[in-house]
């Protein structure tokens, strides 16, 4: 579809240079889906967190989207900038909470990540995104 994007700085000014990253998924039509194949999204998949935030990360919480709480921290140690961690999870929808190691620091949240193949979540200074 067509989209209109309005970009401003944190204080509302319009001037300056901006970088817009657009990520799109392609979806097959219903005609391309074989309803008899129910194994397409079964099994476990690798879910990687890639830290490109510029800061160390101290908390990674991954929970099923229908869970009531975040559960335990998946990190046993600090995830340094430039490092990554991978976990294996069953196919499902997941929510993700990541935070850095500084009081009142940065926090990233993503919801309803559909894990139907091996995926990565890339943590960046201005947000994050899912990547295949």
Over residues 95-112, the pLDDT tens digits come to 999 999 998 888 999 999
Give the pLDDT confidence of 48-70 residue by residue, as tens digits.
999 999 999 999 999 999 999 99
CA nearest to 60, candidates 104, 107, 130:
107
CB 67 within 8 A of CB 94: no
Going along the chain from its start, the domains and CATH numbers come out as 43-131 (2.60.40.2890)
Task: Return the CA Rg of the chain.
Answer: 17
Nearest-angstrom CA–CA distance, 105 and 31 = 47
């Amino acid at each position: 579809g067509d989209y209109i994007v309005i970009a401003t700085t944190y204080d509302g000014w319009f001037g300056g240079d901006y970088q817009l990253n657009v990520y799109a998924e392609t979806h097959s039509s219903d005609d391309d889906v074989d309803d008899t194949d129910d194994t397409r999204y079964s099994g476990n998949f690798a879910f990687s967190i890639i830290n490109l935030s510029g800061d160390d990360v101290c908390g990674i919480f991954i929970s099923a989207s229908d869970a009531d709480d975040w559960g335990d921290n998946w990190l046993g140690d600090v995830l340094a900038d430039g490092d990554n961690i991978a976990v294996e999870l069953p196919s499902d929808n997941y929510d993700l909470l990541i935070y850095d190691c500084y009081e009142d620091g940065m926090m990233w949240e993503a919801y309803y990540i559909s894990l139907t193949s091996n995926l990565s979540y890339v943590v960046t200074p201005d947000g994050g995104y899912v990547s295949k």
